[in-house]
Structure 1
Amino acid sequence: MIILKTRKEVETMREPNRIVAEILQAIGEAIRPGTTTGELDDIATKMIEQAKAVAAFKGYRMRNQTPYPAAICSSVNEEIVHGIPGPRVLEEGDIVGIDVGVVFKGFVGDAAKTFAVGEISPQAKKLLEVTEQSLYEGISMAITGNRLMDISGAIQEYVESHGFSVVRDFVGHGIGRKMHEPPQIPNYRGPGWNPRLQEGMVLALEPMVNQGTWRIKLLQDEWTAVTADGKLSAHFEHSIAVTDNGPLILSKVS
């Protein structure tokens, strides 16, 4: 069952998403060759504490996994999502996807962005540009009266038109008082549930795009997903509200 939010609840959800957006901005400013992913997690942890919010990811678990140990996910190069921050040093030419979630005033904010570390290759730059634009292609279809798969199809068509592939093992999701609410939102058009979009839906759209195959492997830490062929992957995410006046992006700096 999709949980529709009132206009007041949507306004409240701006606040945790603003915190997330500010954290992503600060992390982006700190990323440079020589920075460790653990240092980026420290930035997020400090900002979450200062905002009197709670890290939504820390302690989170899916299925029988061990609890997630950090405030952010930091996924470098061939890592798709759920990379665990730590001593890894970022190097010139790397790309790093940062995913942040917080709980504030009873609601969850969630967003992600992939950053360049110094100068990156033209191929990596194109991957980042296409992935980010595919997110906005999906957002543009998040209007009342459309179907969920209109979002999914717009993302897939844009990505594949540029020669990349969309990950199928991980999807976007509804979001609200819980981080993962119905519906699931694939980044490809499929045969699944295809409800009509209504005002009050709040959705976390998050295309994950690979240079090569869409297939993945899961590392032994039970969290980090990597591309099956070792090629690069990028990840962008916004939490948005469906309104009668069009999609409203919640996860941006005011």
Structure 2
Amino acid sequence: MINVVGIGPGDLKMMTFQAKEAIDNSQVIVGYKTYINLIKPILSDKEIVSNGMKQEIERCKEAIEIAKTGKIVAVISSGDAGVYGMAGLILELLEVEKLDLKVNIIPGVTASTAAAALLGSPLMHDYCHISLSDLLTPMDLIEKRVELASQGDFVICFYNPRSKGREHHLERAFELIKKYKSADTVVGIVKNAAREDEEKIITTLEAIDYTLVDMTSIVIVGNNSTYKADDLMITPRGYKI
């Protein structure tokens, strides 16, 4: 059996009871080494299999091979296992191999909802997630999604917004957004959500300092109704008050 577990954004207090129970009931824990380190305090008696970035396929294949021996395996993802996590890859691999292993998908608190709680209430109306990593998705398709989401005035949560290898992707995304949203549209940045050195910044499309953003950041761009109140970012739901 394989439990695909969303462990939340980092703080153990944000892990669900179901996720903790699934890990407790698993014999082997498989995951990216950074995420393993986040939950090490609850893994004292577990067999651990970990590896580095860009080794997701190898990691999931190894989890399946272990599960085939009869052991209960937990494959962990940060945030929610079904949001840029391992749930899809495990299911795809099982389908390709035509294996009949039992799989439980355990949801978790996403980085975007953890960031939104810190910022205030930016996700109170329609929103979408867009990853700016072009490792698995062509950049022209990412840009199309950014432009259409902006045209529809969605609140946009950007995952993987900026790295050393992708220094200008966020800047390019903001150029597209500015075609449909005003320059003073509120933007929230949360670095290390629910982890050590958590930090939040509220700025605008025009005033953003791109150098403050890295791969540990979530960037939330408001819609045309989003506003800043003190140190909070608020998107009205539309209630008549």
Q: Tell me if TM exceeds 0.5.
A: no
Larger Rg: 2
State the TM-score, normalized to the length of structure 1: 0.32
Decide which structure has greater helix share.
2
State the TM-score, normalized to the length of structure 2: 0.33
